[in-house]
Structure 1
Amino acid sequence: MRGSVILVVVFALLSALYFSMFPGIQAEMDVIEEAFPAYMFDLFQIEELHTIEGFIAAEIYSFFWVLLVAIYFAYVGAGLISSDVRSRKMDLTLSNPVSRESVVLQKVAALWVPLIALNVGVPIIVYVGALVIGESFDPVALAMVHLLSIPYLLVCAGIGVVLSVVVDHPRTARAVALTLVAVLWLVDGVSRVDPDYERIGALTPSRYYDQTAILVHEEYALGDAGILLAAFLALLAVAVFVFTRRDI
């Protein structure tokens, strides 16, 4: 809960900053777009910067949401099991009449706290911020940006959970999880820039969540969200399988 509140406050401050900037630089957006190299637009999936949808998609969602929030979920997921194993709390938990499967599933279920807090608080902040400066978002598109991000964030959390049951030391598990998510995001971005590596990007979770397409073009890739949900369930199954068979 504490981490969720902090993240919502951070996004509120970021939103206030970017919304205050947009009216002043909107007319100069063509010059700004020409100043950036073309690969930057592919790397961060930037389009239509002169519109409020394209601007917020680029400035808030393309980096802070897709990368930093994903890292947060991977970090939290990586500590769910390993921290209790390290502190010996898991010994006490498993001494009760509970199954190991239920322990993992209930730990993962707790992730709905930050998922709900962020995906309810942030869109409200973004929607109200746009109204304050005389702009507006399509509420359906804004809601879909967050709804379709849930499978993506769950996959990042799933990566952390798998590492949490494999690695005993929580600090190591968290470091590997956040590094892996960051590397996967970077690989996806590079694969968009270089066609020779485009196929590699298909192995990264961020390839299946395009916030710019949702906000700017109102394209809702439900099939991609289904792929991410399947990947999350597979990661969860692996975590349960490993944890039920390891010695603690």
Structure 2
Amino acid sequence: MFELAAYGARRRVRGALALSVGLSAFSGLYAAFFPSVTEGIDLDQYAESLPPVFVEAFGLRSLGSIEGFLATELYQFAWVILLGLYLAYSAASLVAGDVDSERIDVLLALPVSRARLVGEKFLSVAPGVLVINVVVAAATWAATRAIGYPVGAVDLAAVHLLSLPYLFACAAVGLAFSVAVDRESVAQRAAMATVFGLFLLESVVGTTDYDWLGYAAPMRYYDPTAILVDGTWDLGGAAILTAATLALVAASQQYFRRKDVN
């Protein structure tokens, strides 16, 4: 049971550890810069001079506090954009990679259903996502205490826990393209373009009369700035992202069951 998921997770663990180290280094670097960057500079006043769309897109609030600074520099950028794009890109190869390389014939010959194959392929992403969150959370906690500006442990844990539904939703977008497109490179590019396009959509319409269009973007339901700065946890948004992820995975399983794999 879950042999395919375990095998896939083992293949991805090295990449997850490397990404964890890189993001932890960024976190430590941002924390180290914070005291000197904020000395004698009113970052909040600077943020107010920027276009509202830019402020909305990157959650530029309370930059003079360590919570607001990290929310903008680390989480809004590295988590919402970079890590979301990475997981969409990575998940887009889960099935399409095997089809493109013709390994899919071997997998389909195993005594497992197509739905289980797709489901376990998706589950193989989970351990890496958990490793990244645990390592970076620990590194950020240690770095902020080392500089004398500690971030609240509860809110820091919350910003990482509530990122899981968002990150899995991005991965589910990649999975959908992975079963729909046979060429791995096409699936990867389409998944990244979709996630980034949804980010741009949410950024552009968020301050307009067409705000309702942003409900299609997973970024609408995960706000690191609200968690770290305001202590506000959007549990409803997390539930919506979880439901969307399950729906995309189920739809991907159903589609692959009926698909003629050449």
2:219 corresponds in structure 1 to 206
Identity rate, percent: 39
Q: Secondary structure at the match of 2:233?
A: coil
User: 1:44 and 1:244 mapped to 2: Cα distance?
Assistant: 40
1:21 partner letter: F
User: 2:45 and 2:152 mapped to 1: Cα distance?
Assistant: 27
Deviations 1:167-222 (A, max 9, x none): 000000000001110110111111223x2221111111100001100011111111
1:134 corresponds in structure 2 to 148
TM-score by length of 2: 0.91
Q: Secondary structure at the match of 2:206?
A: helix
1:44 corresponds in structure 2 to 58
- Asked if the contact 1:188–1:206 (Cα under 8 Å) also holds between the matched residues in 2, the reply is yes
Task: Kindly report structure 1 stretches of 4+ aligned residues shifted beyond 6 Å.
Answer: none
Higher deviation after alignment, 15-24 or 139-148: 15-24
Structure 2 unaligned segments of length 5 or more: list them: 1-12
1:54 partner letter: G
Task: Summarize the alignment of residues 1-248 of structure 1 with structure 2, pairs less than 5 Å apart.
Answer: 1-27=13-39, 28=41, 29-30=43-44, 32-193=46-207, 195-248=208-261
TM-score by length of 1: 0.96
Instruction: Report the number of matched residues.
Output: 247
Structure 1 residues 214 and 166: CA distance shift in structure 2, 3 A: same
Q: Secondary structure at the match of 1:104?
A: helix
Deviations 1:37-76 (A, max 9, x none): 4432112111100100000000000111101100111011
- Asked if the contact 2:53–2:203 (Cα under 8 Å) also holds between the matched residues in 1, the reply is no
User: 1:32 and 1:132 mapped to 2: Cα distance?
Assistant: 27
User: 2:223 and 2:49 mapped to 1: Cα distance?
Assistant: 24
Structure 1 unaligned segments of length 5 or more: list them: none
User: 1:31 and 1:106 mapped to 2: Cα distance?
Assistant: 49
Q: Secondary structure at the match of 1:202?
A: helix
Deviations 1:119-152 (A, max 9, x none): 1011111111101110111111111101111111
Q: Secondary structure at the match of 1:88?
A: coil
Q: Secondary structure at the match of 1:171?
A: helix
- Asked if the contact 2:38–2:64 (Cα under 8 Å) also holds between the matched residues in 1, the reply is yes
Q: Secondary structure at the match of 1:79?
A: coil
User: 2:57 and 2:103 mapped to 1: Cα distance?
Assistant: 43
- Asked if the contact 1:78–1:173 (Cα under 8 Å) also holds between the matched residues in 2, the reply is yes
2:9 corresponds in structure 1 to none
- Asked if the contact 1:190–1:197 (Cα under 8 Å) also holds between the matched residues in 2, the reply is no
2:6 corresponds in structure 1 to none
User: 2:44 and 2:222 mapped to 1: Cα distance?
Assistant: 27
User: 1:40 and 1:76 mapped to 2: Cα distance?
Assistant: 28
The alpha-carbon deviation at position 33 of structure 1 amounts to 3.0
User: 2:25 and 2:156 mapped to 1: Cα distance?
Assistant: 19
User: 1:6 and 1:22 mapped to 2: Cα distance?
Assistant: 25
